[in-house]
Amino acid sequence: MIQFSLQQGHSITTALWVTVIAVALAALFYWRAFRTLKPRQWQLLLALRILAILAIIVLLFRPVLSFRKEVSQKKSVIFLLDTSSSMGISDDASGATRFEQARDKVHAWSEQLEGGFQLQAIEFSERARSLADLKQLPTLAARGKATSLSRALAAGAQAAPRRDIEAIFLVSDGIHNSARDPKEIARQIGVVVHAVGVGASLRSDAAYRDIQVASLNCPDTMMLNNLTRITAGIEAVGLAGRVVRAILEEDGKPVGEQELALDEVEGAQEVKFEFRPTVLGRHEYTVRIPPVPEEKIKENNQRSAVALVVEPGIRVLYLEGTLRPEYGAIVQRFLSKDPDLQFCALVQTRPNEFLKRTNIDGLELESLPATQEEVAAFDVFLLGDLDSSFIKPSQQELIAQRVRDGAGLVMLGGYHSLGPGGYRGTPIGELLPVLLGDRNIGQVDEPFLPVLTPDGRQHPIFANIADFFPTAGGDAGRADLPELDGCTRVAGARPGATVLAACPLETSPQGLMPVLAIQPVDKGRAAVFCADTTRKWQQVPRALGQESPFLQFWGQLMRWAAGRSAEVETEASITSSTDKGYYEPEEEIRISAIVRNEKGEGAADAKVVARVRGPEGRTAPVEMPIVAGAAGHYQGRYTPAGAGSYQIAVEAKLAALRLEGEKLAVEVGRPYLEFEQLDLDEKRLAEIAADTGGRYMHISTADSLIDQLDRTERKRQVQFETPLAVPLPLWLVFVGAVTTEWVLRRRFQLR
């Protein structure tokens, strides 16, 4: 049946009325204005005007000619073929692999169905890919590093309009090790899925023998030279009583070995390795069991994980008794600028009332630490002009014990610190490398520059800044460093302490009094710096545009106290890292960067971008905003689409500088992921089929699923529409009619 309609939604009656009125007005115009013309002349002009009017009306109302026609249409059958690595094992009596069985069966079914259905095939592992032609089936192989049944089902549902899909055949061993629950996807797609299982339940075979590294618990981040534990789960079938070796390797080199007597109890046996990582950076750790001759599958005898070996973060607790200028300089110009430090600064405003400043997110400490948990949160304790009477003996003992266990303690000079602060004989005072004296020992009021000892010139605290200071044998290599205003007196150095810098003082032995001294304290370290006006080292050179040792001195002192020996950077740089080395598909990757400006301080105004290049070659930019915490820290997040190797390049723009970090590499989808569970998962496949109204069958009996497909040819009414308003020809008609009319009017000597 042919129908005539208008696209704009107007009625045909309206269009006809508009046409009639327009034509009538044109006819009236010519009848009144051109009575002197010959009939053929005004009739020709009127015809041209009517033609132009009709062209405009057709363009405005856009008429459509439509009709319905019955057509035959074949329904679609879609095959989802699993090409993941687990399909490559052979557990059939014929010796054929799971994949070979599945591929041959899909090929046979396609030949059987090609006359009655539209056939499509999609191969999948961690991703799903449609085949252009079923003739590509022989070229496929089971090589995928992971399996995503979810993506396979979603791709199958999108391969054709849902009303045209007769059924989807999911041919797989049922292993799923990627993100999203395939049963949830199955319930959403609205298409019948028949699940075809390939493989066997290996454990039900009495002759089956296997050893599998079933789990590997490896920390994502390890601390350099700290004791680290890696735990592996070893599961064996049919080998009870056999003694095997479990080997731990770091980047392919053995670092540990354990013997294990295999049992017959279902479930994994635990093997623990303890070691201390000694090299910074990204390392691959593998636990493997040498295969035994009876094993049929050897791919699951090892498992790997990647960990980042880093230096532990440095957390500094700075305690001050008064809001003195030195406090402001240390907090504002050092602690807040050093990207490697997190700090909490507590300054006493009233007796036992403290004002807190910190860059540690979520830290609830509001006063002096009073519990072991609060003290254990810090790596360095920096004590300023705070009298010992404000720190209870129990609190001092907690700090002292934390230092003995590996933390650092630094006490500064002041009117209420060291001897004048009453620390002689206290738990903290006994750890210090100098003899404190009593409360009346007093201060040194004469300005001075610290004189470096031979030990001081070689010590990491003065790395790259030693020539700012004089020595007993000569002046400083770089002049104009401001003198300090004075320092707190001490009675001398303790036996076993190392004096790095001294203050010229006639009343002291050799005319020098220790001003910076250090000593080990069991596993920790203690230092005393008697001066308290180092802010002048920062303020004066900065005002004069000169170099200053301020940032390096304090940074290297804190790093030494924390057990580090790294030098403080004093130039623009960027360092980047990821939170892990291996990720599951669709697991978020956290990318971090530390940006320093030309002074080595943490930069707060950099524009940082990470460019992530995936295994398919496409690159995605990831914006990295600044984050709370230590200065100059930036972080971005990226979610990988599938398994494979990802390359990450981080760059920062800082004013006129462009900084590029070292390229990072991460793996998505753990190695041997496909061999963690090799049994045919009939339960999962049956649940997927049941949730869609389909059926589950093993591949050996699944031919009946094909036989039961409805081969009836379907017919349906299809509406065809032909637009009558084709813009270009109609505009040509309009322009031609109007132009011809104008030319004729001139020829007929009309206006």
| 366, two tokens | 């509001």
What gap in Å lies between CA 635 and CA 637, rounded to an integer? 7
What is the predicted pLDDT for the residue at 204? 63
Among 574, 563, 537, CA closest to 552: 537
Q: At what angle do helices 727-747 and 39-61 cross, to 10 degrees?
A: 160
The beta strands (E) that lie in 530-654 are given as: 573-578, 582-583, 589-596, 607-613, 619-624, 633-638, 644-654
Place of tokens 């005898």: 301
What gap in Å lies between CA 647 and CA 659, rounded to an integer? 18
Fold classification of 573-668 is Immunoglobulin-like (2.60.40)
Kindly report the number of other CB atoms within 10 A of residue 276's CB atom.
12
Burial annotation 291-314 (CB, 10 A radius, 16+ → b, else e): bbeebebebbbbbbbbbbbebbeb
What gap in Å lies between CA 94 and CA 109, rounded to an integer? 20
Map residue 526 onto helix, strand or coil.
strand
Question: What is the helix (H) or strand (E) element at residue 271, kind and residue range?
Answer: strand 269-275
What is the predicted pLDDT for the residue at 36? 65
What is the predicted pLDDT for the residue at 672? 63
CATH 3.40.710.10 fits domain 75-101+115-201+679-712: no
What gap in Å lies between CA 288 and CA 258, rounded to an integer? 11
Place of tokens 């990450």: 648
CATH 3.40.50.880 fits domain 314-561: yes
What are the φ/ψ torsions at residue 472 (nearest 5 degrees)?
A: -60, -20
What gap in Å lies between CA 117 and CA 169, rounded to an integer? 13
- Range(s) within the chain of domains with CATH label 2.60.40.10: 210-310, 573-668
Q: At 36, which amino acid appears?
A: T
What is the predicted pLDDT for the residue at 747? 78
- CATH class for domain 210-310? mainly beta
| 434, two tokens | 């100098």
What is the predicted pLDDT for the residue at 24? 83
What is the predicted pLDDT for the residue at 8? 65
CA 272 → CA 223, 291, 439, 458, 588, distances in Å? Answer: 18, 20, 54, 42, 29
Beginning with the edge strand found earlier in the chain, give each strand of the sheet holding 2-6 in spatial order.
Answer: 2-6, 63-73, 714-723
Q: Are 276 and 250 in contact (CB under 8 A)?
A: no
Helical H runs in 545-622? 550-561
CA 603 → CA 314, 424, 427, 549, 563, distances in Å? Answer: 19, 42, 39, 19, 25
CA 179 to chain centre: 16
Burial annotation 317-341 (CB, 10 A radius, 16+ → b, else e): bbbbbbebebbebbbebbbbbbbbb
CA 369 to chain centre: 35
What gap in Å lies between CA 189 and CA 194, rounded to an integer? 13
Q: Are 204 and 181 in contact (CB under 8 A)?
A: no
Map residue 466 onto helix, strand or coil.
helix
What is the predicted pLDDT for the residue at 209? 84
What is the predicted pLDDT for the residue at 42? 75
Beginning with the edge strand found earlier in the chain, give each strand of the sheet holding 269-275 in spatial order.
Answer: 210-217, 228-237, 269-275
What gap in Å lies between CA 653 and CA 31, rounded to an integer? 78
Return the sign of the alpha-carbon dihedral for residues 176, 178, 179, 185.
negative
* Residues in the chain, overall count: 751
Nearest-5° angle of CA 461, CA 466, CA 469? 115
Q: At what angle do helices 149-158 and 182-189 cross, to 10 degrees?
A: 10
Among 330, 298, 302, CA closest to 316: 330
- Range(s) within the chain of domains with CATH label 3.40.50.410: 75-101+115-201+679-712
3-state secondary structure string, 155-167? HHHHCCCHHHEEE
Strands 498-504 and 524-529, by their bridges, are unpaired
Sorted by sequence, the CB contacts under 8 Å of residue 12 that are 6+ apart come out as 4, 5, 6
- Which parts of the chain sit beneath pLDDT 70? 1-2, 4, 8-9, 31-36, 69-72, 202-206, 479, 509, 565-566, 670-673, 713-718, 720, 751
- Range(s) within the chain of domains with CATH label 3.40.50.880: 314-561
What is the predicted pLDDT for the residue at 98? 93
What is the predicted pLDDT for the residue at 726? 78
What is the predicted pLDDT for the residue at 1? 59
